[in-house]
Structure formats: C-alpha cells, structure tokens
Structure 1
Amino acid sequence: MAFFINKPFRLISMCMIISLIGVMILSPDLPARAARVTLATSLGIQPNQEYWVKPEIDPYFNPSFPIKSPISVEEVEQYERIQSFQINEDYLYKTFNSIRRSRTPVEMDTELLSSLENGTFYFTLIDNKPYFLSVREAIEQPSYYKVIKEMGNIIASVRVDLMLWQVSETKYWPDSTKEHYITGTIYNGQKQIIEITSSESNKDGHCIYGITKNAKGVEIRRTICDEATGDYRQTIYRNDEGVQTNLVTYLDDGQVKNEYFSQDGRIVKTTNEPIYPDYLIMEETSDGS
C-alpha cells in the first residue's frame, strides 16, 4: 500500500529541508539518525511503507536516504519510468524499485466498456473480457490497459507494457550509513528473472566484490574491487553455461583492457571496448541516446 503526503507536511519550508540536508552532509558519518528522522517526518515518510517518487532518484542511493516528497501512485503511473522505495528503521533506503514501461495509444472496443461510469480505469483482458484492477495492481502486471471516460465517451486509452523491472535491497553496517550488502534482481517484461547481483562493501563503504548469476544460478560476472578505494579492478565475464568469455581490467587512466577467451581458455583478442549487458543497451535505446 502506498502512502501519500499529508497536507500539513507540504507547508514545511524549503529552508528547513535545505538546512537539514546541510547538517547531514557536514556530519562525519553521513548523516545523524535524528536528522534523517526529522527530514523523513517532514516529508511524510515512515519506515517499512511503500512510497512512489518522480523518476529521478539516483538508483545507487546517493544520498542513501530520501530528500524529496513522494507522490501518489496515480500520479506516478503516468510516467514510462517509475520508482518506489521503502526505508528501514534507521531511515535509510531499504528497498528500491525502478520500473521501465512503454505506453502505446490503442483503440478500444466501446461496446466492451459501455457499462463503465465516467472515470479512469485499469484492467487486463481475459478471454476478451476486462478484468479491472486498482492502479497499484495494474503497475505490477506485465501489461494492462488504461482508459479515461468522460461524459460517457472514452477520451483516452493506452496499453502499458512492462519492459524492465529492477529491484534492490540494501543492508548497512551497524550504526552506519555505509552499505554492507546489496542484492539486485533484474526482471524482463514478463517478470522473469534476467540476473541477480550480490555485492559486499567494507566498513568504509568501499566495494569488495560483486557477483552476478543468471536465472539458472550460473555465475556470469564477477567483479573484484580495490578495497582501499572501492574502484573496480577486474571483471570476469562468463556465458550462460559458466564458461569464461572475457576478462576486463580497469586501468588507472580510465581505460579498459578487454581480453576475449576461446572455449579452451586461450586469449584470442584484446580491445579497449567495455562490455554492456543487453538490458543496459535496451535502456539507452529506449531513452533515445
């Protein structure tokens, strides 16, 4: 269930919020819990509840706590990219959802929906009959229809299709805002798992390693980091059967060395081109970049 902003919270001055954020940034262990509680309360946010936000939050949680007001699920539904989150008892991000959809105008059978009153409706079609949903239920579907009816006429109708759903869960070091473990799962448009990534960081918040497995549980990527800085050092890439295909080394000048391996483990080619997972390529394409 999504929670929305109460009217009094909208009256909190921006000066107060900016001041709170300033205190947080200057704190030695960003930020003090009391300051996070005050800020979250001013935004109408409580632990372990789902909130929806405009699609602009950094998915890597910088900062690792909410600083903007949530919006209603009805408002966020209009976007192609939507985001939701929960915070934990320390008022830090606990779970985060980033959902990419496509919206396509469609012509609807007016007789099929002739009995509807005026309003906005969400539904799927089962045996060519509408199965009506709440807006929250609709968002979780691989696809659904949205129809707006005014004065007895359908004035807008779209089909919304899920493209990509990324879910992450973060656990922190005790009494710290530094991440300890992050687990991320990526689903395709049919809500089938593409891959699952688990990463660990040290008490300074620096990456130690990251391991990615496919839907079958086969390791397809392993990244080793420099614990002193958190910088990536190497990533081993494997195919869906677990056979190594590439070794990417991250160089100090910002370049990469990408070594390609044959089936029998020989290096057959070396380039300076990075590797991007298919879902990231799809994200860039859908953004028009």
Structure 2
Amino acid sequence: MVIAAGTQDQPLVFRNNDLPNIVMASAVQRLLRHDGVPPGSRAVIFAGIPHGAAAALDLDDAGVPVAVVVIPQAARLPEAMVSELRAEGLRIVEGATIAVAQGTRGNRRVKSLRVESPAGPELLDCDFALIGADTTPGYQLRRHAGAKLGFDEESQSFPLTGLPASMHLAGRSVAQIGVTTSRLPFGPEKLGLLAGPRQSHDRLTPMDGWHRAAGAKMIPAALWWRPLCYGDSAGVVADGVRLVREGGGMLDVSTLGKLAVRGPDAGAFLDRIYTMAHENQPVGRAALLNEA
C-alpha cells in the first residue's frame, strides 16, 4: 500500500507571525497561477523547502519585487534551485531566520521583518511575507494502520514510527514528517462547501393534508413542514393557546425518530448512551430523552 495523502503547510514561529499579509507559499502560488493576482508589491520570502523557492521564482516571473529570499540553516533545497534563484538575480541570505514582524498603524498588515543571519540583524520593508518553512503530510491513515507518533529533538518534529511493512509513504521519509494534534476538520473548509446550493428537501407528515385543509399556516421545521397556527386573524395564536389550556390539543410527533431496544440489558445499554438513568425504569412508565 502506498499512501499519498497530500500535505499541509506549517507556519514559521516568530513574534507577530499572525499579522495580515504573512501568508503560506502554496497560497501565493495559487493566487498567481490560478487567479493571476499578486498578494502585494514587495515580498520577503522564507524558503526552507522547495515550495518557498518556487514561489519566489513565480513572484519574480510575475514582476513582483522580492526584497530577499531567506534560507535557513536547516533548509532542504536542491542546489539547482538555489542556483536558479541566483541566476534570476534575487538576493539570498543563507543561514538566517525571521525574528519579528512589525505591522502598520492598527496592525492592518505587515510592514517590515527583522531578519537575523550570521552577518547580523537587518530590518526589511515589505507589504507581505511568504512563508515556505515546512509541510506536514496527512498522517491520519497511518495512525489507523498502527503507526506511532514520536518526537525528534534534533529536527523538533514528530516523526511516525512503527509503520507497517506493507505501507509506504509517497514523497518524504517518515523521519521528516511533523504532525499536529489530530482533530476535525483536518483542513480548512471552503465557504462554498459550507453554504452549499440552495436545495429544498421538503418532507410532509401523514397529517399534512389535514393541516392544510384546516387552514394551517405551514412553516419549515428542519426538513419538515409543520403548522404554525390555523387562520389569519390577529388573535389566532392567543385563541390557540386558550383552546389548548381550557380544552385540549393534539401534537403531531410523527417526525421524531424512534428506536426499539429490547432485552434484559436494554436499560443498561441506554445508560451508556444517555445521561438519564434507565436501568431502574419501572415497567409501564416513560421517560423523555433529550437527544440534542
């Protein structure tokens, strides 16, 4: 089995790294290649992996000024890619890192970065910073297969160990994989997916025809059409309340789900699912379950 689950960009840790316009390399490449939109007019680029260097070349090709390409000591860049950066005339600072970011008035966006290198600190003006520090491959399937998370002091990463012999990772080695806490969602959801198309999945109760014939004003309740009141007069709601209190009322609960649990351990089973106690529920008595 070969796992090719993709990767997620990892941020670079430095002071004020959450200022607007400090963005990931993959985001910049998508803006340039898919939409033809540059994210700013002067960039500082951190290139610890090929993604960062490739984004620097893309920005230069699009005519966006690149103030400097910062290459850290532990960068994993092919020498050919570094040579290509130099051939394009881009300034490179090697063995360096970003120490702090400064924002504009009100911190509306980043305005400068302090870069520290063996030659000393340097303050660089920019209106956006591109971060290509590292990536985290999708690791959830490996965990299900029995792999364990470890921690490597030298690389300050969380490698996967104990990978089954029949499973191989596409791309980087296991020792290069860093992970974060596993929780849903594993990646950001698109707004279009969350909104979804405007579709209607109407459901009608067995009494729907009776309600409408009686003059009910129907409203959607989840996927079901339910009666709000009967009639159009101003006091129709008050009249309905009075009739129920002084006489009687009927509620159509056919939309509620039903489960039949039988057997000598039915009560104990329900106790494991719901917060209420059911094992000692007397025969012939009922309890209302809150399934919210």
Q: TM-score, normalised by structure 1?
A: 0.20
Determine which structure has greater relative contact order: mean sequence separation of CA pairs < 8 Å that are 6+ residues apart, divided by chain length: 2
Larger radius of gyration: 2
Q: 1 or 2, which has the higher helix percentage? A: 2
